[in-house]
Structure 1
Amino acid sequence: MRFTPAPWPRRLRSQEWYGGTSRDHIYHRGWLKTQGYPHDLFDGRPVIGILNTWSELTPCNGHLRELAEKVKAGVWEAGGFPLEVPVFSASENTYRPTAMMYRNLAAMAVEETLRAQPIDGAVLLVGCDKTTPSLMMGAASTDIPSIVVTGGPMLNGWFRGERVGAGTHLWKFSEAVKAGEMTQEDFVEAEAAVTRSSGTCNTMGTASTMASMAEALGMALSGNAAIPAVDARRRVMAQLSGRRIVQMVKDDLKPSDILTRAAFENAIRTNGAIGGSTNAVVHILALAGRAGVDLTLDDWDRLGRDVPTIVNLMPSGQYLMEEFFYAGGLPVVLKRLGEAGLLNRDALTVSGGPIWDEVREARNWNEDVILPVERALTASGGIAVLRGNLAPGGAVLKPSAASPELMVHRGRAVVFEDIDHYKARIADETLDIDETCVMVLKNCGPRGYPGMAEVGNMGLPQKVLRKGITDMVRISDARMSGTAYGTVVLHTSPEAARGGPLAVVRDGDMIELDVPARRLHLDIPDAELQARLEAWTPPAPAPESGYARLFHAHVEGADTGADFDFLKGCRGAAVPKDSH
């Protein structure tokens, strides 16, 4: 379908601040003019807020100030008035206890910034993985015309002739050191090779996944997701997006027009085709909740189950984001989905037209990177949603990153009560564990960690690694990095800190995993499980900051997106009352 623009010209939201001669209008204009803006900029042209998540403590976003200047150039060219606004920036590689704890805070900050400021349209300038969903969530909550511009992935990493991926090889090299296959000195030397330019992780980690989700949802211009951060075409994309947001404001093209059920279905199927991160599940569920779209874990399993994974990128495959861009990027994947009847072709995008119009002419320039269906990495990709007495609310697993021989497995549980217990036990050579066991980690979910940290891909015991074993079944209520890999069951719901069955698993219990049957089962009698649950007591809460108290009280489970219970739905962008 095509969008029907609203009549233009019309009175814009920003004119409530700037469009008159009253004392209050003069007050608002006069102070902004101290930065050197001429009077005719306040004549009713669209005010575009460039919501910039730049921070020197968010390395993936460290180049966004330069990118913001290109966005501004595009806004000026299209007759808008650009104003750069710093917003909350949570970095996965520095924030403790975890950046995920602050995603909702960032979304709240963006929502209130959009609502409280004289902004007619927003450019969401994002990069590191939590910044992308948090800004889209805030924009969906206010429904102000918005467009996503991502910072792009870093260049390929190379170490001693080997292609190395950010994150993915951090885990691989770390395990190799523990196994005695790599020296600590070599690991340190590899550091500079793994992350060697500006940008987000160059694997199909969460940042690249969420950039792809933004494009598949229609919230970014076609081709945005894969352009490397240092490529000149990334700056061109920023400038074109600056031009486009001005027209979106004039047309009144809002997130609610784009973030439809059809768009979310496209995103879920795209995630399966690219071998995307399990983190996309919690982010897309949260975004759907903000947009008022009824989306569930079962939709993730149903829609993605028959989608082949055709993007041959780490951690599931061989290549990196730089090659994905050269091969044609996400438009090629979307075209493949459309040809297979797996794309809602009429879904609207920020272009104002249907997504199929954007991708129908895309060409694949490298079939080793974007594979033909008959050579798919996994014929049935997507995200597997597991249920059973151990996960009545659901748990997730990424088949394309798992070991085929472990997809059906029965093993003895080795239990870690929390992440500190894991760290204390895992290096103990007397720990009764081998490769047939199932590692179980508790109290690392949204409420338990708090924040649901990326610790679900527990490193294996050294005595197992020394056998040459690289994977074991691991189960937790935590997340894992999108750059990670393995037969890892995540987001187990209800989480242990809420008294879910995971909380009462004991050393020696037998656990059955059957991914084809979507089953996760704790093999004890029902009566015993019930008795354990009745005897369970919540763990003592850790000392909390003010925000941590809010988080603990209001965060929902991973199975619904781990958003705050009071933030569901769109609250709009009504002009606040003037206080002057």
Structure 2
Amino acid sequence: MAISYDELRSARWFAPDTLKGFGHRSRLRQMGYDPEDWEGKPVIAILNTWSDINPCHAHFKDRVAWVKKGILQAGGFPIELPALSLSENFVKPSTMLYRNLLAMETEELLRSHPVDGAVLLGGCDKTTPGLTMGAISMGLPFVYLPAGPMLRGNYRGETLGSGADAWKYWDDRRAGLIGIQEWQEVESGIARSYGHCMTMGTASTMTAIADVLGMTLPGASSIPAADANHIRMASAVGRLSVEMVWEGRRPETFLTRAAFMNAAIASMALGCSTNAVIHLIAMARRAGVNLALDDLDALSREVPVLANIRPVGERYLMEDFYYAGGLKGLLKQLASRLDLAAGNVTGHTLGEALADAEVYHEDVIRPLDRPVYREGSLAVLKGNLAPSGAIIKPASCDARFLHHTGPALVFDDYPSMLEAINDEQLDVTPDHVLVLRNAGPQGGPGMPEWGMLPVPKKLINEGCRDILRISDARMSGTSYGACVLHVSPEAHVMGPLALLKSNDLVKLDLTARRLDMLVDDETLERRWAALKPPAPKYGRGYTWMYLKHIKQAHEGCDFDFLESDFGGTTPEPDIY
């Protein structure tokens, strides 16, 4: 529904002939603006997650200029607002600790400033859910601008994929198969341009999810960061943001349950990151959509992996995916399973967006009858070790572990685990089940990416490259292997994982979707009675607040007071 200038939110700041209106206008003039810059125009906030230490977003300084150009072309007034950068590589203990802080900042930046709509610049793992969760809760028209994947890596003529090949070559170095010279060549060749990881890790997964949900220009998530099409997309996003304001195109008009189910289907077909589960559930709950682990597991049994992209795929990377037809090409292959009536930021439907989509390379984007993997990327496990659920990525691990029983080797913290793993005399076999606990949402805190536990050096030297691992932590979306993650409830809040002891037998049955410790009830009762809750780690600050309000992995790890069903509302700011 079209709106008039008087109905613009920013007009409350700039239009009134009052002392406050005078103050707002005079301060704009102080910065060199004339009334022609803002009168009768929607104000568009550009939330920029650029920083000097975020390589995924290194090009955002330039992209902002192109977004502003598009906003000005369409008759809007752009204002850039810096937001928390969340550089995955450098922020410790985990960017997941701060995803909700970015969501809060996004919501409050939009609420407190005189803006009518927004462009959100993100891409590195947690910036996509953080920015969009906050913008969904605020409810203003917004469009998401994805950073785009970096170019392919290269090492002596071999294509390298971020993350996945780092793990591979690190194990080769631990085994003595390569030396420092080769290792440094991998280091200098694996990340050759700005942009996020070019594997189907968390960044590529989440920008694709934003795309399918209708938050981006259709297909924008596939464009490599270094491609000139990415620059043109930035200007188009600027123009679109102004149109969205005038048309009153708010997120609730297209973020429906159908949109979230489409995103979940596409995730499975992409060979998505395990982190997608937590973020997609959190985003859905912000939009008032009840999406649960059982919904995702049901889809995983029906939707095959079609994207032949590492780490699930055999050889290709995001650059190849773009040239093969990109996300729109993959969605075209899935059209029979999608709700094509779902809308997007353009005001059109998904079906209309896919009208011109094609697949140009069917080994990169497979047809339904020749998938990379016969089921979806993820599976949800439950049992006496994970009554609320756990996640495994069966498409990227050795099939022999998908039905496996073995003795547990349990670690209570990451440092002791690392020390033991590097001990070549460790009493461990390929049948053991490595367990790391106390690394969940509260135990980490922030659920760090520790879930891909290193294969013990003793086994590496014997040629073993995979072993069953279980944790209440997460793992990088670029990781692979037989890793059971997100065990919920976590050990730190007295989940049953806290009862497990070394040498207990653990059974994984993928067919039955079960994860159990084979320990009799009487023994478990004795262990429950002896279990003591851990002492609080933090007495002040953001982390103290985080630990008081964070929800468990199967619920999306959002703060309880930020979800759509919390029961309260936040009013618009008073302007006097």
Residue 501 of structure 1: which of 490, 496, 499 is its match? 496
Is 1:414 matched with 2:409? Answer: yes
Worse-superposed segment, 250-259 or 542-551: 542-551
Give the fraction of aligned pairs with identical amino acids, expressed as a percent. Answer: 46
In structure 1, what is the Cα distance between the partners aligned to 2:73 and 2:526? 68
In structure 2, what is the Cα distance between the partners aligned to 1:407 and 1:269? 22
Alignment of 1:48-127 (within 5 A): 48-127=44-123
Residue 46 of structure 1: which of 17, 42, 46 is its match? 42
Q: Once the 2 structures are TM-superposed, how far is the Cα of residue 516 of structure 1 from its aligned partner?
A: 1.9
Is 1:481 matched with 2:482? Answer: no
Is 1:531 matched with 2:526? Answer: yes
In structure 2, what is the Cα distance between the partners aligned to 1:140 and 1:266? 18
Is 1:159 matched with 2:133? Answer: no
Corresponding residue number in structure 2 for 1:466: 461
Q: Secondary structure at the match of 2:337?
A: coil
CA contact (8 A) 1:72 1:242 kept: yes
CA contact (8 A) 1:144 1:573 kept: no
Is 1:357 matched with 2:352? Answer: yes
Is 1:231 matched with 2:227? Answer: yes
Residue 321 of structure 1: which of 314, 318, 322 is its match? 318
Worse-superposed segment, 372-381 or 18-27: 372-381
Corresponding residue number in structure 1 for 2:288: 292
- The code of the aligned residue for 1:138 comes to G
Corresponding residue number in structure 2 for 1:552: 547
- The code of the aligned residue for 2:327 comes to L
- The code of the aligned residue for 2:575 comes to D
Is 1:213 matched with 2:215? Answer: no
Unmatched 5+ residue regions in structure 2? none
Corresponding residue number in structure 2 for 1:576: 573
Q: Secondary structure at the match of 1:25?
A: helix
In structure 2, what is the Cα distance between the partners aligned to 1:117 and 1:576? 9
In structure 1, what is the Cα distance between the partners aligned to 2:402 and 2:290? 30
Worse-superposed segment, 60-69 or 369-378: 369-378
In structure 2, what is the Cα distance between the partners aligned to 1:539 and 1:175? 34
Q: Once the 2 structures are TM-superposed, how far is the Cα of residue 229 of structure 1 from its aligned partner?
A: 0.6
In structure 2, what is the Cα distance between the partners aligned to 1:467 and 1:163? 27
- The code of the aligned residue for 1:272 comes to M
Q: Secondary structure at the match of 2:134?
A: helix
Q: Once the 2 structures are TM-superposed, how far is the Cα of residue 8 of structure 1 from its aligned partner?
A: 4.1
Corresponding residue number in structure 1 for 2:332: 335
In structure 1, what is the Cα distance between the partners aligned to 2:253 and 2:178? 52
Q: Once the 2 structures are TM-superposed, how far is the Cα of residue 573 of structure 1 from its aligned partner?
A: 7.0
Corresponding residue number in structure 2 for 1:173: 169
Corresponding residue number in structure 2 for 1:428: 423
Q: Once the 2 structures are TM-superposed, how far is the Cα of residue 146 of structure 1 from its aligned partner?
A: 0.7
Worse-superposed segment, 171-180 or 320-329: 171-180
Q: Once the 2 structures are TM-superposed, how far is the Cα of residue 220 of structure 1 from its aligned partner?
A: 0.6
CA contact (8 A) 1:386 1:520 kept: yes
Q: Once the 2 structures are TM-superposed, how far is the Cα of residue 430 of structure 1 from its aligned partner?
A: 2.5
Worse-superposed segment, 463-472 or 29-38: 29-38
RMSD: 1.3
Residues 217-250 of structure 1: CA deviation (Å, up to 9, x unaligned)? 1111111111111110001111111111111111
Residues 259-286 of structure 1: CA deviation (Å, up to 9, x unaligned)? 1101110111111000010111111111
Is 1:134 matched with 2:109? Answer: no
Unmatched 5+ residue regions in structure 1? none
In structure 2, what is the Cα distance between the partners aligned to 1:516 and 1:463? 31
Q: Once the 2 structures are TM-superposed, how far is the Cα of residue 138 of structure 1 from its aligned partner?
A: 0.3
CA contact (8 A) 1:124 1:147 kept: yes
Corresponding residue number in structure 1 for 2:383: 388
Residues 416-436 of structure 1: CA deviation (Å, up to 9, x unaligned)? 111122112111222211111
Q: Once the 2 structures are TM-superposed, how far is the Cα of residue 447 of structure 1 from its aligned partner?
A: 0.2
Worse-superposed segment, 482-491 or 567-576: 567-576
- The code of the aligned residue for 2:527 comes to R
Q: Secondary structure at the match of 1:225?
A: helix
In structure 2, what is the Cα distance between the partners aligned to 1:531 and 1:566? 36
Q: Once the 2 structures are TM-superposed, how far is the Cα of residue 139 of structure 1 from its aligned partner?
A: 0.4
Residues 447-482 of structure 1: CA deviation (Å, up to 9, x unaligned)? 001000001001101111112111111100000000
Provide TM-score, normalisation by structure 1: 0.97
Q: Once the 2 structures are TM-superposed, how far is the Cα of residue 441 of structure 1 from its aligned partner?
A: 0.5
Q: Once the 2 structures are TM-superposed, how far is the Cα of residue 538 of structure 1 from its aligned partner?
A: 2.0
CA contact (8 A) 1:58 1:90 kept: yes
Corresponding residue number in structure 2 for 1:252: 248
Q: Secondary structure at the match of 2:224?
A: coil
Corresponding residue number in structure 2 for 1:306: 302
- The code of the aligned residue for 1:319 comes to Y
In structure 2, what is the Cα distance between the partners aligned to 1:274 and 1:17? 45
CA contact (8 A) 2:214 2:344 kept: yes
Provide TM-score, normalisation by structure 2: 0.97
In structure 1, what is the Cα distance between the partners aligned to 2:133 and 2:448? 20
- The code of the aligned residue for 2:501 comes to R
- The code of the aligned residue for 2:83 comes to V
Q: How many residues align?
A: 573
Q: Once the 2 structures are TM-superposed, how far is the Cα of residue 290 of structure 1 from its aligned partner?
A: 1.1
In structure 2, what is the Cα distance between the partners aligned to 1:181 and 1:365? 38
Alignment of 1:171-210 (within 5 A): 171-210=167-206
CA contact (8 A) 1:312 1:371 kept: yes
Q: Once the 2 structures are TM-superposed, how far is the Cα of residue 6 of structure 1 from its aligned partner?
A: 3.3
CA contact (8 A) 2:281 2:291 kept: yes
In structure 2, what is the Cα distance between the partners aligned to 1:9 and 1:21? 16
Is 1:274 matched with 2:239? Answer: no
Corresponding residue number in structure 2 for 1:374: 369
Q: Once the 2 structures are TM-superposed, how far is the Cα of residue 25 of structure 1 from its aligned partner?
A: 0.7
In structure 2, what is the Cα distance between the partners aligned to 1:34 and 1:166? 46
Q: Secondary structure at the match of 1:520?
A: strand
Q: Once the 2 structures are TM-superposed, how far is the Cα of residue 574 of structure 1 from its aligned partner?
A: 4.2
